[in-house]
Amino acid sequence: KKTPLKRAERQDVGERLQAIELLRTGDYPKAERLLTGALKDRDWEVVERAAYALGEVGSPKAIGALVKVMLEGPAARVRRAAALAAATLDADEALGDVVKKIGGRRGARALEAFTLLAPAASE
């Protein structure tokens, strides 16, 4: 059975965005896996919407992929979406992953993510 995102993979951005909305609101058993894959889309808006959708339908398993977007996302709003989604899923785990990256080559972006995750983490 073809999933909405599979049907839209080679289509225009609008169709991929619609597919993400279907995965967010529908009852697809592989929604989390498909949305995690959409975090690698070539269009930043698709990545942003996939991150927000993961925050709603994902599990802590998606945090690693969201942290990668927080550190490497093409736009601040995409990185913010990933941080907010990760904070919803498991703020403590996401914060721990980001703290490890503060001294690295993506240190500034890790600090940016830290400021979004810290308020949601437990003390």
- Mean pLDDT calculated for residue range 66-72: 97
**Among candidate residues 75, 118, 69, the one with its CA nearest the CA of residue 95:** 118
pLDDT at residue 8 greater than cutoff 60: no
Cα separation of 54 and 24, whole Å? Answer: 8
Least confident of 9-18, 32-41, 53-62, 108-117: 9-18
pLDDT at residue 106 greater than cutoff 60: yes
Residue 92 CA, chain-centre distance (Å), reads 16
Half-sphere exposure of residue 52, counting CA atoms within 13 Å on the CB side?
Answer: 13
Determine if the pTM surpasses 0.85.
Answer: yes
pLDDT tens digit string along 21-41?
A: 999 999 999 999 999 999 999
What confidence category does residue 10 fall into, taking pLDDT thresholds of 50, 70 and 90? Answer: low
Q: Which pLDDT score is estimated for 6?
A: 58
- Mean pLDDT calculated for residue range 91-114: 95
Q: Which pLDDT score is estimated for 7?
A: 54
Q: Which pLDDT score is estimated for 78?
A: 98
What confidence category does residue 11 fall into, taking pLDDT thresholds of 50, 70 and 90? Answer: confident
Structure token pair of residue 36:
């995690």
Residue 10 CA, chain-centre distance (Å), reads 21
